């Protein structure tokens, strides 16, 4: 069955092809995009959306902002770099690949994946 665009509050969830290795992303325009080729069951989809919703909330509250060459977290700017073809961020926990669980913004989004809140059931 084809995926239909969904809305949760004002956040749109849609599917589109993403860069290889990227499963989902929260965009500045208020859209969460899930890779068109990702094969996710309901439970996995729920987790992925909860994760991206946390990034979205952080953007909306001003806790985080994302630019092409930088990232802001809690009022501090951290720079993105590409080293030996790998995208990294010099973050508060050191130089780590994008999406690494030790970046504090990722740690919080990962925690949000398993928070059991019935209101936040995005299994679609
Ligand atoms: Zn993330």
The pTM for the full model equals: 0.89
Q: What is the DSSP letter of 85?
A: T
Structural domain boundaries, residue 22: 8-115
Report the pLDDT value the prediction gives residue 37, as an integer from 0 to 100: 92
Asked, for residue 120, whether it belongs to a domain, the answer is: no
- 59 contacts 67 by C-beta, under 8 angstroms: no
Alpha carbon of 106 to ligand 1 centroid (Å): 5
Report the pLDDT value the prediction gives residue 119, as an integer from 0 to 100: 63
Cα 120 to Cα 43: distance, rounded to the nearest angstrom: 12
Q: Which pair of structure tokens corresponds to residue 52?
A: 């991206």
Report the pLDDT value the prediction gives residue 20, as an integer from 0 to 100: 81
Alpha carbon of 120 to ligand 1 centroid (Å): 17
Alpha carbon of 26 to ligand 1 centroid (Å): 8
pLDDT tens, residue order, the chain (124 aa)? 467 788 888 999 999 999 888 899 999 999 999 999 999 998 899 999 999 999 999 999 999 999 999 999 999 999 999 999 999 999 999 999 999 999 999 999 999 999 876 666 776 6
Alpha carbon of 118 to ligand 1 centroid (Å): 21
Report the pLDDT value the prediction gives residue 8, as an integer from 0 to 100: 87
Report the pLDDT value the prediction gives residue 115, as an integer from 0 to 100: 87
- 78 contacts 92 by C-beta, under 8 angstroms: yes
CA 110 centroid distance within chain: 9
| Domains identified in the chain, total number | 1
CA atoms within 13 A on the CB side of 80: 15
Report the pLDDT value the prediction gives residue 118, as an integer from 0 to 100: 65
Asked, for residue 73, whether it belongs to a domain, the answer is: yes
Cα 25 to Cα 41: distance, rounded to the nearest angstrom: 18
Asked, for residue 121, whether it belongs to a domain, the answer is: no
Q: What is the CATH number of the domain that holds 105?
A: 3.30.2010
Alpha carbon of 33 to ligand 1 centroid (Å): 12
Residue 11 dihedral angles phi and psi, to the nearest 5° = -95, 125
Report the pLDDT value the prediction gives residue 14, as an integer from 0 to 100: 95
Q: Which residues contact 40 (CB under 8 A, 6 or more apart)?
A: 34, 48
Among the residues of the chain, which ranges form H helices?
42-61, 104-113
Alpha carbon of 56 to ligand 1 centroid (Å): 10
Asked, for residue 124, whether it belongs to a domain, the answer is: no
């Amino acid at each position: 069955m084809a995926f239909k665009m969904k809305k949760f509050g004002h956040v749109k969830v849609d599917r589109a092809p993403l860069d290889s290795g990227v499963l989902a992303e929260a965009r500045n325009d208020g859209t969460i995009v899930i890779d068109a080729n990702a094969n996710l069951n309901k439970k996995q989809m729920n987790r992925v959306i909860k994760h991206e919703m946390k990034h979205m909330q952080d953007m909306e509250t001003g806790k985080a902002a994302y630019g092409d060459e930088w990232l802001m977290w809690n009022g501090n700017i951290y720079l993105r770099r590409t080293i030996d073809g790998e995208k990294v961020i010099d973050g508060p926990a050191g130089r780590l690949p994008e999406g690494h669980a030790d970046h504090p913004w990722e740690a919080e989004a990962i925690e949000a994946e398993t928070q059991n809140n019935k209101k936040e059931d995005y299994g679609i």
